[in-house]
């Protein structure tokens, strides 16, 4: 979640509904988790410590994939329900 605790309450929930945040976090974790980078002195640095924490969440790769899949499935169900209601009411 974004580090800003000062966001108005009406916008705090928005971060949890944007599926791109979970997709990006899954991508970052997939690429950098378990990777070892080396600094200028030759000391090993874990890959995720080189990425700012604002770029990924606390969930694992497959949890993020599951969240994105559930959000997309929920949008499809909502679309089908709305289309069914519109068709039944002759709004289409």
Residue 59 lies in a domain: yes
* pLDDT attached to residue 3: 54
Does the pTM exceed 0.85?
no
- DSSP single-letter state for residue 58: S
How many domains are there within the chain?
1
Residue 1 lies in a domain: no
* CA–CA distance, 7 with 91 (Å, rounded to integer): 39
Q: Is the pLDDT of residue 55 over 70?
A: yes
Residue 2 lies in a domain: no
Residue 3 lies in a domain: no
Residue 63 lies in a domain: yes
Residue 73 lies in a domain: yes
Q: Is the pLDDT of residue 41 over 90?
A: yes
Residues 25 and 57: beta-carbon distance below 8 Å: yes
Residue 4 lies in a domain: no
Domain of residue 47 covers: 9-88
When pLDDT is cut at 50, 70 and 90, the band that residue 91 belongs to is: confident
């Amino acid at each position: 979640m974004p580090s800003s605790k000062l966001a108005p309450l009406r916008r705090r929930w928005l971060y949890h509904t944007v599926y791109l945040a979970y997709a990006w976090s899954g991508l970052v974790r997939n690429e950098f988790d378990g990777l070892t980078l080396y600094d200028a002195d030759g000391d090993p640095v874990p890959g995720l410590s080189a990425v700012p924490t604002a770029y990924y969440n606390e969930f694992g790769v497959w949890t993020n994939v599951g969240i994105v899949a559930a959000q997309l499935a929920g949008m499809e169900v909502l679309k089908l329900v709305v289309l069914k209601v519109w068709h039944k009411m002759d709004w289409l």
